[in-house]
Structure 1
């Protein structure tokens, strides 16, 4: 009969070392887990229903304001107004600014957007702006989450069907359940090699519709910008399908200011900056060039003045509006040609009581969306305003202005 094994001092020390190693590993895994550093406070009941305004206010005054550094525009969804700042996304009561719900992570907040009646927030981890969560607008309840490789900075935009996450080297399109329908550009670990049509390109701008995605990119082998028109939902998300790709040859195509502005069902609008006269060519004014659904140029619309780097496109339903830095221009939703202009604008418009509200010095112009005629002026005294672009939204009888990294609520004088 063998004598029983006896534990030595070395055995005991080894066992302790193994236990400590396992404990440290568990702590590291826990510390890196997505749930760590996350706080989700949902509303006990849905936000109170907001009744749409039926008439415009005679005057507006500021009621409350809150930090909103992570949003790109004033955001409303359901019956709440949304802010994003310091890792926290909040759904607020439009009248008081009270937080009805909030979602916080110990990660930088890359961006916030609203679509599908929900709030979508993207956070940055070691793989870029890769952590995305969808929250119910009226309660803040988490519904869907996704994780994928993205750039360290992205801009989020929606067309009503798809949500576009655009970075300088890579973009993704997501449908309403946040499932990726398309990846384009740099691929960190492609499932199938050589599926992307080009490599090493810088993605300068992009816009989408339910049937087209247009990307303006600069590729090493091209002398000027390239316009690529893609199918938003190809058979395989990792295998882009092109309707067409063209190296732009019009004057100004090599300038950094050229950009995709908007996409309709089968057309793409591209902005070209002015080009001075040279020994080899004539001067060209700033212009809006319309391309067909495969990227071919089909129409040119000269512009009265160049557009600034603050140019922003706003989609309100099917209507498209361009804030140029000095004016708001309405684009035909089908042909993308300019229809009318409101000069003296300070930012992007919003809809209220059947009219279009355009921020101007000292207030808001109420504009007829059919022809751009100013039908009323609503005085507003803005505090701490330093010429920043104003993004406007409306919910019920409250108007919101995002400017200078803060959201301001405006209500009728009592």
Structure 2
């Protein structure tokens, strides 16, 4: 019979060393994990239901304001007002501005967006704007998250079905659970290197609908901008499926001001800035070119004046509005033809009590959505407004204005 094994002093020291190593490794992993840099405070109960306004206010005054540098527009989701600043995303009461919940990470905020009754916050790490979290708007609870290689600066937008996250070299489409349905452009480590149709291209603008994604890109071998129309949810997310891709040949197609405006299930609207006359070509005025679902141009609508560099498109239901920098233009949802114009606008609109609120220098004008006729004027005294674009939203009886990196609540 074999004698039982004896533990020696060396065995005990070796076991202790292994245990210490494991503890140190665990501490290092924990210290470097995302959880250590995250502070999440959820609401004890869902935000109270806000009833939509039934009439326009006679006047408005400031209720509260908060920093909102990370957002690109005034955001509401469900029954809360959303702000994003210095790594923190907050869901606020519209009347008091009280933080009902907040989510904070020790990373820079790249973008904040709202859709599906949720809030989508994207943060920047060493892989670009790659860390995205989806929060329930009612409570601030985390619903989904994703991590992927992205550009250092991105724009996130929603079309009611998908989310579009676009940088200069790469874009992705996400479902309502943040699962990626499409990657297009630069691929960091391609598993299938021949799946992307082109390489070395940069993206100027893009817009999406439930069945079409239109991208305006500049590729090394093309003399001017290329319009590519894609399926936002192909069979394989890593293998883009094109409905059509064409180099634009109209006058001004090489201009940096060309951009995709809006997309429907069978049309794409593209803005062209004016061009000057040359020895071989006459000058062209500013215009909207309408393309079919494969990228072929089918109509052109002339514009009265060129748009500013930061012209902004707003979709409210099926309606499309463009803030040009000097006016607000309503486009036909069916044809993308300009229908009516509100002059002297200073920002983007919102709906309230069946009317469209448009910010102007001395307040808000309420216009008829069918004709653009002014039906009321609401005075607003804006504090600390430097003249930048005003983005408007409405929640209940509260009007929200995002301007100069802050969100102002008016009531």
TM-score (norm 2): 0.96
Matching residue of 2:102:
102
Note if contact 1:264-1:336 (Cα within 8 Å) is conserved in structure 2: no
Pair 1:298-2:313 in alignment:
no
Could you say which residue in structure 2 is the equivalent of 1:28?
28
Alignment of 1:140-289 (within 5 A): 140-289=140-289
CA distance in 2, matches of 1:8, 1:31: 31
- How far is 1:21 from its partner? 4.5
User: CA shift at 1:24, angstroms?
Assistant: 3.7
Partner of 1:337: 337
Distance 1:24 1:280, change over 3 A: farther
**How far apart, CA to CA, are the structure 1 residues paired with 2:264 and 2:247?**
21
Deviation of the 1:137 alpha carbon: 0.9
1:54 counterpart SS class: coil
Structure 1 residue 286: Cα displacement? 1.0
Residue 106 of structure 1 deviates from its aligned partner by 0.9
Q: 1:22 to 1:370 in 2, by over 3 A?
A: same
Which portions of structure 1, spanning 4 or more consecutive aligned residues, are displaced by more than 6 angstroms? 1-5, 14-17
Checking the alignment, whether the CA contact within 8 Å between 1:165 and 1:171 is kept in structure 2 is: yes
Distance 2:43 2:229 in 1: 42
Q: Confirm or deny: 8 A CA contact 1:133 1:146 kept in the other structure.
A: yes
1:4 CA drift (Å): 6.5
The aligned residue for residue 373 of structure 1 is 373
Supply the distance in 1 between the matched residues of 2:32 and 2:200 (Cα, whole angstroms).
Answer: 32
Shift of 1:18: 5.4
Matched residue, 1:79: 79
The residue aligned with 1:48 is 48
Q: Any idea what SS the aligned residue of 1:149 has?
A: coil
Answer with 17-26 or 335-344: which moved more: 17-26
SS at match of 1:100: strand
Q: Answer with 373-382 or 279-288: which moved more.
A: 279-288
SS in 2 for 1:60: coil
Q: Which sections of structure 1, spanning at least 5 residues, go unmatched?
A: none
User: Aligned partners of 1:172 and 1:32: how far apart in 2?
Assistant: 27
Check whether the contact 1:94–1:395 (CA below 8 A) recurs between aligned residues: yes
Distance 2:100 2:216 in 1: 40
More displaced stretch, 380-389 vs 21-30 = 21-30
The answer as to whether partners of 1:356 and 1:366 remain within 8 angstroms in 2 is yes
Unpaired segments ≥5 residues, structure 2 = none
**C-alpha distance in 2, partners of 1:5/1:47?**
62
* 1:332-372 alpha-carbon deviations (Å, 9 max, x no partner): 11211111111100000000000000000110010100011
Q: Which moved more, 1:26-35 or 1:269-278?
A: 26-35
Distance in 2 separating the partners of 1:367 and 1:169: 40
Indicate the SS of the match to 1:36. helix
* Cα RMSD (Å): 1.7
Partner SS state of residue 366, structure 1: strand
Q: Is the 8 A contact 1:265 1:334 kept in 2?
A: no
Of residues 220-229 and 131-140 in structure 1, the stretch that sits farther from structure 2 once superposed is: 131-140
Q: In structure 2, the residue corresponding to 1:227 is in which secondary structure?
A: strand
Q: Give CA-to-partner distance per residue, 1:303-327, whole Å, 9 cap, x none.
A: 1111111111111111111111111
CA distance in 1, matches of 2:79, 2:15: 58
**Which stretch shows the higher mean deviation, 33-42 or 211-220?**
33-42
Choose 273-282 or 199-208, whichever is displaced more: 273-282
- Cα distance in 1, alignment partners of residues 410 and 30 from structure 2: 44
Provide the rounded CA distance (Å) in 2 between the counterparts of 1:293 and 1:5.
Answer: 77
